[in-house]
Amino acid sequence: MTTIPTTDPYPAVVDDLTYAYDGVFTRDDVQQAVDEARALLETQARVKTFLPVLVARQAREQLMARAQSDGLVAKKVPELLFVCVHNAGRSQMAAALAEHLSARRVHVRSAGSAPADEINPVVVEALRERGIALSVAYPKPLSDSVLKAADVIITMGCGDSCPYFPGKRYEDWEVPDPAGQPLDVVRGIRDDLQARVTKLLREVLD
């Protein structure tokens, strides 16, 4: 039986990102971002088929956040960051709603101080009812780069685990944790978040 050799997709990911960030980051910088994204996602991924795509997306997001926080690239729209403990419920819902309602007039990130292995499936279902898919979303760790890149930082249940950076707008939303809750309760949390996100977008965009 002949074994067909598999091609390592990650050098191509590094090549593409090095080209995209030419003059901003070195190849070594890009390689480090890709290595960190792999270390994060390989432990979480149940299906490996699309892992290189997710690694490329995570590495690109971290590089962009770092470039913005270091003043290496200009921001085209306001940056919103939603943070909770596990990045599996509230912050994912808020970020998805903000992206959906803003028509790309803001850029949205979410993260967790102690990210879970997967997004709460009841949260996924509650958003699906609103026509919002979380098919490519996953819990992400909170990093200094995404904090520094944000203009507005919304925390939910993080306590003191979210570092403070001067010059940022901070809000703490008292929103119940959807973990372990049935769908009808999560729907109520979703609707509460939508009202808060709508108000925030009006303030930021006006």
Query: Which residue ranges form the domains of the chain, and what is each CATH number?
Result: 9-74 (1.10.8.1060), 76-206 (3.40.50.2300)
Share of the chain above pLDDT 90, in %: 64
Helices 10-20 & 51-69 angle (0-180, nearest 10):
30
What is d(CA 197, CA 139) in angstroms, rounded to the nearest whole number?
20
Cα distances (angstroms) measured from residue 133 to each of 69, 125, 157, 175? 29, 9, 24, 21
User: Structure pTM?
Assistant: 0.83
User: How many whole angstroms from its chain centre is CA 68?
Assistant: 15
Strand, helix or coil at 168? coil
Tokens of 115: 């990210």
Strand, helix or coil at 185? helix
Q: What is the pLDDT of residues 18-62, one digit of tens each?
A: 999 999 999 999 999 999 989 888 876 555 667 888 899 889 989
Q: What is the pLDDT of residues 62-73, one digit of tens each?
A: 999 999 888 888
Amino acid 4: pLDDT = 45
Q: What is the pLDDT of residues 70-112, one digit of tens each?
A: 888 888 899 999 999 999 999 999 999 999 999 889 999 999 9
